[in-house]
Amino acid sequence: MMTKKITILGIGNTLFTDEGVGIHLLPLLEDELKGCENIEIIEGLTDGMRLLGPVEEAENLIIIDAINAGAEPGTIITLVGDEIPAYFGIKMSIHQLGFQEVLMAAKLRDRYPNEIVMFGMQPTSLELGIGLTENNQKRLGELKDAVIKQVNTWRRTYETA
């Protein structure tokens, strides 16, 4: 039985408190998913177009990032498929290429993942500072659970397909 590959991509800037949530979550996911086949975890930081390769190679893609949806700070946000590009990108500088441009390029090149889900958290702060704010740090486990649930849903779907 062939299982599809799931790519988990954490993006963000760890120098700006809650903007780094996608990066801070990856070690928790690596622990939880140890030994699982066909799962690739990538630390994307703020790599812009260098992430086009991993995105285009992904069959199913989970993106983790800070999402500014105007929600209560620390709120876990889930976006699926076409909901994603509209919400993207807390750009910390005008020079930074947003991840939505990477998704757009993959779409234009007809190499878009089969399924794509984005998980994020409403930032409490985007000020210069290492580590998440206490508020967002407290909700990291909840964010991890949401990602794991999605991974397991996809894995069950492949097993019955």
What DSSP string describes 41-105?
Answer: EEEEET-GGGGHHHHHH-SEEEEEEE---S--TT-EEEEEGGGHHHH----SSTTSPPHHHHHHH
Q: Report phi then psi at 29, rounded to 5.
A: -70, -40
pLDDT score of 95 more than 50: no
Domain 6-160, CATH: 3.40.50.1450
Give the mean pLDDT of 5-22. Answer: 92
Band (pLDDT 50/70/90 cuts) for residue 91 is low
CB 69 within 8 A of CB 122: yes
Q: Are 66 and 15 in contact (CB under 8 A)?
A: no
Residue 133 has pLDDT above 60, yes or no: yes
Q: What is the model's pLDDT at position 1? A: 45
pLDDT at 161: 63
State the Cα–Cα distance between residues 104 and 88, nearest whole angstrom: 12
Residue 20 DSSP symbol: G
Q: Which residue has the higher pLDDT, 70 or 93?
A: 70
**Mean local confidence (pLDDT), 52-73:** 92
Torsion angle, CA of 151/153/158/161, rounded to 10 degrees? -170
- Model pLDDT, residue 94: 47
Give mean pLDDT, residues 23-46.
Answer: 91
pLDDT for 3 equals 63
Q: What is the dihedral of CA 102, 60, 10, 105, to 10 degrees?
A: 0
